Amino acid sequence: MGNGLSDQTSILSSLPSFQSSHIVIWGLDCGRMTTLLYRLQFNEFVNAVPTKGFNTEKIKKLHDTMIKRRKMLRQQKKKR
Ligand SMILES: Nc1nc2c(ncn2[C@@H]2O[C@H](COP(=O)(O)OP(=O)(O)OP(=O)(O)O)[C@@H](O)[C@H]2O)c(=O)[nH]1
Ligand SMILES: [Mg+2]
């Protein structure tokens, strides 16, 4: 999942538009949850070590992505 998450924008753009939200990623050991979290946060592959407890990150990229997508949609509408 970490390496395979090549088109992050398409995944994020399928989420509903929101100002902020809490998202819990929960799964089996070595399920690549940490890899996914840091891929979303830093937009790069981080070689994660097994998590003790839990990781938490505030990701502003989601909102940025929504803004970019809205701008793109507005531009597309104007062209029509
Ligand atoms: N081959 C391969 N390995 C990956 C990929 N994504 C992540 N990994 C590796 O899989 C291992 C587990 O990833 P983690 O993100 O630590 O998994 P986790 O779900 O957080 O696991 P725990 O913290 O132990 O519960 C790490 O060694 C990663 O480097 C991938 O796309 N391909
Ligand atoms: Mg982990």
Interface predicted TM-score (ipTM) of this complex, two decimals: 0.87
Q: 10 Å Cβ neighbour count for 58?
A: 6
Domain count, the chain: 1
7 pLDDT tier (thresholds 50, 70, 90): low
3 state DSSP class of 54: coil
Q: Which residue range(s) make up the domain with 24? A: 8-79
Integer angstrom CA distances of residue 46 from 17, 30, 65, 68: 27, 14, 21, 25
Phi-psi region of 46 (alpha: psi -120 to 50; beta: other; left: phi over 0): beta
Residue 15 lies in a domain: yes
- Which atom of ligand 1 is nearest the CA belonging to 49? 16
- Which atom of ligand 1 is nearest the CA belonging to 29? 25
Q: What is the pLDDT of residue 24?
A: 93
Cβ of 30 less than 6 Å from ligand 1 = yes
Residue 1 lies in a domain: no
37 pLDDT tier (thresholds 50, 70, 90): very high
